[in-house]
């Protein structure tokens, strides 16, 4: 039995226009810096979704405890909506689900989001649950790999939810360009997928992981007394570019494929330079990463939830049976994960 993604569901809070965020809050937050304005305008984001709009409510001085209380307020209803939509899309009942995996790096508490969703959705009392925490932007793929392994071994349906509320972690004013970029990029989203071995969808064929530990300080996500603080080095695209060709070559090569055989690309849009690096390194046509660029423009970088948003858009555009898709994401480590998917009928 081959595990396949058979349902998608997403839930997004209120949208906020990038220009309004700058004019109404970040221009003053960054002291009217011309450099900050250029960086803010260059990340390829037109609008994002946020549970907290800083124009209306400034959390930058809040304690981590206060931010976690706000996470506990917003995350359960968004997660519920996303999972319910994914189950409806897959034509399954909540009682059919045997494993619920939740990935997040933006909020924690116990009893956790997984337990609260099991209750609100009416999931089974013998449900298996797994929480994947603090892996960052690439978490969707190792989480999907674990879910797929469960489905293949048990022959039972499972749900993966990636839920990130990055807007809760706005930091105090700073002149650090890395902070400007991260505050310009990130948005909030909850996205769920249903994985089942008994229905047509996106079959999870294979997975590849690579970590360059010499880049431990290139991408960081530190817990502080004032929320979680992102570190994002401008060297990240260059490091990824050195390894990308070999990693993707190994993944598709051992499955008897070449780059020309890949019909769809779902690339985590960590920023425009990341997408440009993938496109150039792999020699992809200009249209190949359009779903990723669309998600970046309309949703921003939603950490682990972003890749599932890209996959959802790619599927909605239409893929013929037998098509192959490569999904890839990047994060702290410096880590690259890639998954080979095949459209089944």
> How deeply is 60 buried, as exposed, middle or buried, from its count of CB atoms within 10 A (0-12, 13-18, 19+)?
middle
The side-by-side arrangement of strands in the sheet containing 202-211 is: 128-133, 99-104, 158-165, 188-196, 4-11, 202-211, 335-343, 324-331, 264-267
Of residues 105, 137, 162, 302, which has the active-site annotation? 137
- What are the structure tokens assigned to 210, written together? 């690579």
Active site residue 302: no
Q: Where are the beta strands (DSSP E) in the chain?
A: 4-11, 15-17, 47-49, 99-104, 128-133, 158-165, 188-196, 202-211, 219-224, 227-232, 264-267, 324-331, 335-343
CB 291 within 8 A of CB 266: yes
Backbone angles phi, psi at 73, to 5 degrees: -80, -40
Active site residues: 137
């Amino acid at each position: 039995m081959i595990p396949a993604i058979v349902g998608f569901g997403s839930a997004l809070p209120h949208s906020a226009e990038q220009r309004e965020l700058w004019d109404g809050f970040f221009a003053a937050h960054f002291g009217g810096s011309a450099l900050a304005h250029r960086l803010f305008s260059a990340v390829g984001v037109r609008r994002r979704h946020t549970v907290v709009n800083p124009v209306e409510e400034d959390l930058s001085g809040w304690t981590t405890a206060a931010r976690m209380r706000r996470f506990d307020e917003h995350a359960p209803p968004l997660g519920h909506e996303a999972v319910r939509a994914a189950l409806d899309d897959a034509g399954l009942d909540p009682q059919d689900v045997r494993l619920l995996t939740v990935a997040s790096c933006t909020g924690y508490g116990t009893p956790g989001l997984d337990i609260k969703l099991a209750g609100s959705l009416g999931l089974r009392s013998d449900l298996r649950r797994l929480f994947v925490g603090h892996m960052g932007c690439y978490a969707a793929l190792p989480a999907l790999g674990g879910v797929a392994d469960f489905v293949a071994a048990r022959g039972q349906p499972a749900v993966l939810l990636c839920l990130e509320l990055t807007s809760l972690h706005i930091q105090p004013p700073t002149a650090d360009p890395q902070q400007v970029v991260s505050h310009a990029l990130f948005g909030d989203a909850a996205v769920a997928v249903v994985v089942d071995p008994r229905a047509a969808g996106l079959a999870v064929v294979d997975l590849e992981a690579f970590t360059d530990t010499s880049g431990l300080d290139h991408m960081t996500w530190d817990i502080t007394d004032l929320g979680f603080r992102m570190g994002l080095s401008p060297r990240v695209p260059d490091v990824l570019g050195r390894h990308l060709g070999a990693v993707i070559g190994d993944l598709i090569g051992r499955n008897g494929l070449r780059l020309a055989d890949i019909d769809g690309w779902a690339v985590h849009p960590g920023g425009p330079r990341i997408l440009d690096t993938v496109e150039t390194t792999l020699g992809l046509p200009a249209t190949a990463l359009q779903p990723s660029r669309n998600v970046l423009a309309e949703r921003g970088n939603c950490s682990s939830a972003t890749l599932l948003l890209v996959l959802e858009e790619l599927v909605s555009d239409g893929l013929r049976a037998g098509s192959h898709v490569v999904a890839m994401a990047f994060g702290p480590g410096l880590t690259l994960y890639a998954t080979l998917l095949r459209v089944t009928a």
